[in-house]
Amino acid sequence: MYTRLLLTLLSPKFHLMFFYGRLKSNLIGLPVYRLIMTRTWLAALSTLSYFLGAHATVLILVLPFVVLYQMASLIHLLTEHVWRVRKVGESVRDSHINNCLARFCGSNCPPNFSVKYWGSWSKWTAMHLFFHLPCRMLFVQGSLVCHDWHHRYGSIRQWYDYARLRELHAQKLSAEERYDYIDVWGMHNALDYVLSSLSKQPEVEIEPLVYRLN
């Protein structure tokens, strides 16, 4: 599965299909104001590309906003849920609760600041600066860390207060001994959790499925 993921991330076919879908969703079947916004934005990008030149356009626009963006989107989507097939009789909401992850970016601190742990602190600092921080910026921006709470209370408008509201609910479930959130620390662990879970599932034929995956 890791090999397939790597090959997909590097696949021109994947990127072309993804980019086609992005264009289609912003050009077809839209309200007029959205279509005007899209065309205005594409015109602005085309004008910018003309003045930048081909080389700069590839480095400034195509690589970050097409290739790297689509890579990050795939990893975000892949780790958002476990993507197991919904069981017969299982509600969509229950399936989301059983399969959604909270993807926290960080790792445990060393026990203390004594000299023998200075190496551990150096490793901890490097991991947060060069792995966890980029993951937080690229894969789980904003409230995506607690996307699992969204699937439980998607109608609540206080999305800006997601972290506190999720924590209050988590504490309530814990006090009632009903805690069922799936908390994963580190995007590498989230990815491993999803792929490991999928690898244990029986093979499924996609075509005859008569209900949603989740």
pLDDT digit string (tens) for 10-58? 999 999 999 999 999 999 999 999 999 999 999 999 999 999 999 999 9
* CA–CA separation, 32 and 34 (whole Å): 5
* CA–CA separation, 93 and 72 (whole Å): 26
pLDDT, position 213 = 47
CA angle 144, 149, 154 (to 5 degrees): 95
Is 79 exposed, middle or buried, given 0-12, 13-18 or 19+ CB atoms closer than 10 A?
Answer: buried
pLDDT digit string (tens) for 135-188? 999 999 888 998 899 888 888 888 889 899 999 999 999 999 999 999 999 999
Residue 7 pLDDT > 80, yes or no?
Answer: yes
